[in-house]
């Protein structure tokens, strides 16, 4: 018996989890992507299915001019008296806020903004009816953990925020969660920064305001100092007791290639927790996590395998798809009159802009994967372009696309990484639909093209290193496999139609 990490692969950082009976709900960060804060459901905490998003309206999620890796940070989900609460920070617009719902797969409330600053807010509902708001706040050269009491109906602060813990000395104390276990208050936080030095620490007290006693074997979770483990950056965790009484930790980490970089992003992992006779938690294997976890689990309840193909035949996009920032829905058409297709208008914005280009993307979940789309597009003017992209950030993406150059319909592969931008492949192609896509492994993206029903051809291969987190100045998100259309600054009414999208992963 055991399970395989990550439990939610691909860019899904900062997991937070709650339980209602034998049902488990988990949320992760979404940064500049829309809709915001994906919601997952499980019956065993191993097999997770996305059921919706917390933030589906612009009134909940303003992302105008949001820089890369900003926007929504570190959501926390909690359940209390029939309601689910999700609290988070929009670091680009408005600060800390929460929303609530009685149906986590449905619509969530309008945001209730909070006067307490900092980031990474968390809620704790105590037995006496008090509700505590915990976040980190800047004090001098670093952060501390601050706490107040709030009115959960209005968000009004009932007490002034006060510092309750400064951590164990690691930089950037963040991601605080307050729990009450066997009459004691436990405060768990992340320290060390969400990179190679990341770690999770915990303290306890008889009072929610402390003083807090640090766990004698802190950090309870970290991979710092263990460079041979392909899992790195473990931390930013949430603790939960399962319905069978067992304890578990969900947390973020990232999988490194053997060449010491990563491009999938920070993902959601899990590990079992035991408690010693002194009341302190111990994470699996002295906090050293593996891909293949050897431990007892809840009875597993496997989910149906996700379909390989998306035919774009519904009234709405399937849940895995995201836009960049707040989309202009006039640039998208799911009712094209075709049996199945999505239309993307060649808008003025492109993939280099801090804006919302005509783009949809889904997370790359594994190193070894293949993704293809059938594109029907006739560029009518110079600069009009549509195709398939492996997209990380505005300065880090590759694309294989159709465009118009010197009056000819041309297929190109463009490579972009920081100050590098060049056409790596160019070929004139005849009119008609074309299949575009990528075959990926840890080290390379191989871009492919071909006529429908014919054998695919290799356009060129590009290293994954220039589009990795280590090559970027931003680190919060991860790799999207996407479809896009642009007029590169011009105004156009031309449309690109994508008939389907195939995505399949290998065994890793």
Residues that are catalytic: 14, 174
Residue 394 DSSP symbol:
T
Q: Are 36 and 327 in contact (CB under 8 A)?
A: no
Instruction: Report the distance separating Cα 480 and Cα 354, nearest Å.
Output: 16
Burial class (CB in 10 A: 0-12, 13-18, 19+), 99: buried
Contacts of 89 (CB under 8 A, 6+ apart): 72, 73, 74, 95, 96, 97, 118, 119, 120, 121
- CA-CA distance, 335 to 321, in Å (whole number)? 17
d(CA 89, CA 134): 12
Position of tokens 């070894």?
368
Reference 255, options 235, 231, 271, 236; nearest CA is 231
| Strands of 297-431, DSSP E | 309-310, 323-324, 332-333, 342-345, 358-363, 369-376, 385-393, 396-405, 408-417, 420-428
Cα–Cα distance, 281 to 271 (Å, whole number): 12
Helix and strand numbers (H, E) in the chain are: 1, 39
Q: Are 167 and 159 in contact (CB under 8 A)?
A: no
In order of 23, 44, 45, 242, the CA distances from 246 in angstroms are 14, 12, 12, 5
Find the Cα–Cα–Cα–Cα dihedral 97, 102, 107, 109, rounded to 10°: -30
């Amino acid at each position: 018996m055991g399970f395989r990490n990550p439990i939610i692969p691909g860019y899904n950082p900062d997991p937070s989890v709650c339980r209602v009976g034998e049902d488990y709900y988990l949320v992760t960060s979404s940064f500049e992507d829309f809709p915001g804060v994906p919601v997952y459901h499980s019956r065993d905490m191993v097999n997770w299915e996305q059921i919706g998003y917390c933030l589906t309206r612009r009134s909940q999620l303003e992302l105008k001019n949001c820089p890369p890796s900003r926007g929504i940070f570190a959501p926390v989900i909690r359940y209390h008296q029939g309601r689910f609460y999700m609290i988070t920070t929009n670091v680009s617009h408005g600060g800390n806020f929460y929303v609530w719902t009685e149906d986590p797969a449905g619509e969530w409330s309008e945001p209730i903004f909070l006067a307490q600053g900092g980031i990474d807010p968390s809620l704790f509902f105590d037995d006496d009816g008090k509700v505590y708001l915990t976040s980190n706040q800047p004090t001098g050269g670093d952060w501390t953990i601050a706490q107040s009491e709030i009115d959960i109906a209005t968000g009004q602060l009932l007490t002034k925020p006060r510092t309750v813990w400064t951590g164990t000395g690691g930089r950037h104390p963040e991601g605080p969660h307050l729990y009450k276990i066997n009459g004691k208050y436990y405060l768990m936080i992340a320290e060390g920064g969400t990179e190679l030095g990341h770690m999770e620490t915990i303290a306890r007290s008889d009072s929610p305001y402390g003083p807090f006693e640090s766990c004698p074997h802190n950090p309870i979770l970290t991979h710092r100092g263990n460079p041979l483990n392909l899992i790195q950056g473990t931390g930013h965790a949430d603790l939960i007791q399962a319905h069978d009484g067992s304890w578990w930790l969900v947390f973020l980490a990232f999988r490194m290639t053997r060449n010491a970089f990563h491009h999938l992003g920070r993902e959601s992992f899990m590990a079992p927790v035991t408690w010693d006779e002194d009341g302190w938690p111990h994470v699996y294997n002295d906090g050293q996590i593996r891909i293949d976890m050897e431990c007892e689990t809840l009875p597993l309840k496997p989910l149906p395998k996700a379909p390989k193909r998306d035919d774009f035949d519904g009234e709405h996009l399937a849940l895995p798809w995201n836009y960049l920032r707040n989309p202009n829905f006039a640039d998208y058409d799911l009712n094209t009159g075709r049996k199945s297709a999505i239309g993307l208008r060649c808008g003025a914005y492109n993939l280099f802009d801090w804006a919302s280009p005509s783009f949809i993307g889904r997370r790359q979940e594994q190193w070894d994967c293949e993704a293809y789309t059938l594109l029907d597009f006739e560029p009518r003017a110079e600069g009009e372009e549509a195709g398939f992209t492996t997209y990380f950030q505005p300065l880090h993406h590759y694309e294989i696309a159709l465009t118009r150059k010197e009056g000819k319909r041309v297929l190109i592969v463009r490579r972009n990484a920081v100050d590098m931008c060049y056409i790596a492949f160019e070929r004139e192609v005849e009119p008609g639909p074309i299949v575009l896509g990528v075959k990926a492994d840890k080290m390379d993206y191989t871009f492919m093209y071909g006529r429908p029903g014919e054998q695919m051809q290799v356009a060129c291969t590009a290293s994954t290193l220039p589009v990795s987190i280590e090559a970027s100045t931003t680190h919060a998100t991860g790799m999207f496999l996407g479809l896009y259309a642009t007029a590169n600054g011009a105004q156009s009414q031309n449309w690109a139609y994508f008939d389907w999208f195939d995505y399949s992963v290998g065994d890793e």
